[in-house]
Amino acid sequence: MTDQPTPVPHIRIVGGGIAGLILATRLGHSLGKRGRARISLVDKSATHVWKPMLHTFAAGTWNIYQQQVQFLAHAHQHHFEYIPGELEGLDPAARRIHLAPVEVEGERVAERRSLDYDVLILAFGSRANDFGTPGVLEHCHFIDNQAEANLFNQRVRALVARSFVHGGDIDIAIVGGGATGVELTAELTRMVELASSYGDGAMRQRLRLTLLEGSQRILGAFPEAISETATAQLRALGADVRTGVKVVGADEAGFVIDGGERIDAALKVWAAGIRAAAVFEGSGLATNRAGQILITPDLMAEGSRRIFALGDCASLTPDGAERPLPSTAQVANQQALHLIRHLPGWLEQGVEIPPFVFRDLGSLVSLSDYDAYGTLGRFGFFRGGLIKGRFAQASHAVLYRRHQLTLHGLMRALLLWLADRINATAQPPIRLS
């Protein structure tokens, strides 16, 4: 890049998810610490959690407060700036982003602002797609961020407490048979099972869990053998797994299925589909039907030379591929590391960023403590093989520890692991209050 507008370019990263926080952390050390660039991270939340763990926070089987990363403290330790704010617009021609007002506990702490950038990296994530289904936005919970997971957990604990006192059923219905819906179904089963051990053994039999999937099988991104085994496992746990059903509406009492059948549920979760933030529509950036930014192999937004996009908010179809890369944590992590490796050379010497190449290392899905399944991908030993049981569960846990290692380094990651082990023996296994 040869037309730098300032001696020290300002790199703004929007979104503190997996990709965004890794970028801010690593670029803070390679560029920010040495004064070669200013690095700032914009996010509406004050904390980061690993998104694949959100279902455990929603169920209350893992301590959300123990696992979160405080942006302000992390930024100080890793030489970047944290800016609280939610993106509500961007102007590529003027190289500016527009942030919505910020409120904390109902108190406005910052007004609407506009910020300049020299390089913009959009790592905004995504959310479930309601596909315009009537009543979903008004009556369903989403589990797309920490605040939503915490709100759902409050409702779950209230429902369980009501069952404990009055003996009523615990009716929960989940739409979406992907990894999120399947893992949440298993985690809720585990939570009620643990809660029933505190005095009301009959509570486990009062759980009414329904998982609804529009296609002919759950876990469509996994091999059919895993789908069939997971379905059998969930049904053995008591969940009503229904595939090939189309949800056409939601109301206060439950879901309506095409044909008029009703699924009653006191709590309703929508975990189907994927959609990027609507803020990108009207920005001048090319997007697909899901609102994701179309990017080129160097991870730049199509038609732009100063805006990068990666993770769930971006869509990249590799050369020769029939479909875009999946919206997974694995893709986001690899794209962030690719940009960390090559952005300094592009920024300072104008070296072109080489095309991103995704290495499929496999996929994992965990059914709480009951079981886990996975594929080994196309690289490494036993390519394309399937794994299950304790080895798959251990592999799933290792993914999170690797994320902590990337963010904090070896010593702090080991201390966090040790703290988890200590707390697991000293604290209840589920959130009770």
What would the pLDDT profile of 123-135 be if each residue is shown by its tens digit?
988 999 999 999 9
* Burial (CB count <10 Å: 0-12, 13-18, 19+), residue 297: middle
Q: Determine the Cα–Cα distance for residues 361 and 334; give it in Å rounded to an integer.
A: 11
Asked whether residue 232 carries a pLDDT value surpassing 80, the answer given is yes
**Res 279: pLDDT:** 84
CA 79 centroid distance within chain:
25
The reported pLDDT for the residue numbered 383 is: 60
Mean pLDDT confidence for 165-178: 94
- pLDDT tens digits for range 265-314: 999 999 999 998 888 877 889 999 999 999 999 999 999 989 999 999 99
pLDDT of residue 278: 81
pLDDT of 280 reads 82
Reported for 97-100, long-range contacts at CB under 8 A and 24+ positions apart, including other chains, are 97/12, 97/14, 97/42, 99/42, 100/44
Residue 50 pLDDT: 93
pLDDT (0 to 100) of residue 376: 82
Position 381 scores a pLDDT of: 52
CB 78 within 8 A of CB 70: no
Q: Is the model's pLDDT at 2 over the cut of 50?
A: no
What average pLDDT does the chain have? 92
CA–CA distance from 199 to each of 73, 161, 164, 204 (Å)? 41, 12, 9, 11
Residue 4 has pLDDT above 70, yes or no: no
Provide DSSP, 187-202.
Answer: HHHHHHHHHHTTS-GG
- Whether 319 has a pLDDT exceeding 50, the answer reads yes
Cβ atoms of 299 and 339 within 8 Å: the answer is yes
**Could you tell me the maximum CA-CA distance found in the chain, to the nearest angstrom?**
70
The DSSP 8-state label assigned to residue 168 in this structure reads: -
pLDDT given for residue 426 in this prediction: 76
pTM (global) more than 0.85 = yes
Q: How far apart are CA 284 and CA 357, in angstroms?
A: 27
Residue 5 has pLDDT above 50, yes or no: no
- Range among 168-172, 202-206, 377-381, 425-429 with highest mean pLDDT value: 168-172
CATH superfamily of 136-270: FAD/NAD(P)-binding domain (3.50.50.60)
Q: Give the type of residue at 168.
A: G
Token couple for 65: 């407060």
Exposed/middle/buried for residue 350 (C-beta within 10 Å: 0-12, 13-18, 19+):
exposed
Mean pLDDT computed over 161-179: 93
Mean pLDDT of 391-405: 91
**For residues 173 and 66, which has the higher predicted lDDT (pLDDT)?**
173
Tokens of residue 17, six digits = 């998810």
pLDDT at 1 > cutoff 50: no
Q: How far is residue 201's CA from residue 17's CA, in Å, rounded to a whole number?
A: 39
Type of residue at 291: G
pLDDT tens-place string over residues 69-78: 999 999 999 9
For residue 379, the model assigns a pLDDT of 54
CA distance 416 to 403: 12
Tokens 């199509």 found at: 302
Token representation of residue 361: 């290392």
> In CATH terms, are 10-126+275-349 and 136-270 the same topology?
yes
CA distance 204 to 194: 9
Distances in Å between the Cα of 175 and the Cα atoms of 129, 167, 185, 243, 289 are 11, 26, 10, 10, 21
Q: What percent of the chain has pLDDT over 70?
A: 96
Residue 184 has pLDDT above 80, yes or no: yes
d(CA 88, CA 100): 6
Question: What is the arithmetic mean of pLDDT over 31-47?
Answer: 96
DSSP summary character for residue 338: H
Amino acid 198: pLDDT: 79
Class of domain 10-126+275-349: alpha beta
The mean pLDDT value for 152-162 works out to: 94
Using 50, 70 and 90 to split pLDDT, how confident is the model at 108?
confident
Q: What pLDDT does residue 166 have?
A: 87
Q: For the residues 217-230, what does the mean pLDDT come to?
A: 94
Q: Give residue limits of the domains in the chain.
A: 10-126+275-349, 136-270, 363-426
Instruction: Name the residue among 15, 81, 2 with its Cα closest to residue 48.
Output: 15
**What pLDDT does residue 384 have?**
59
Q: Which pair of tokens denotes residue 135?
A: 């009543």
* pLDDT at residue 433 is higher than 60: yes
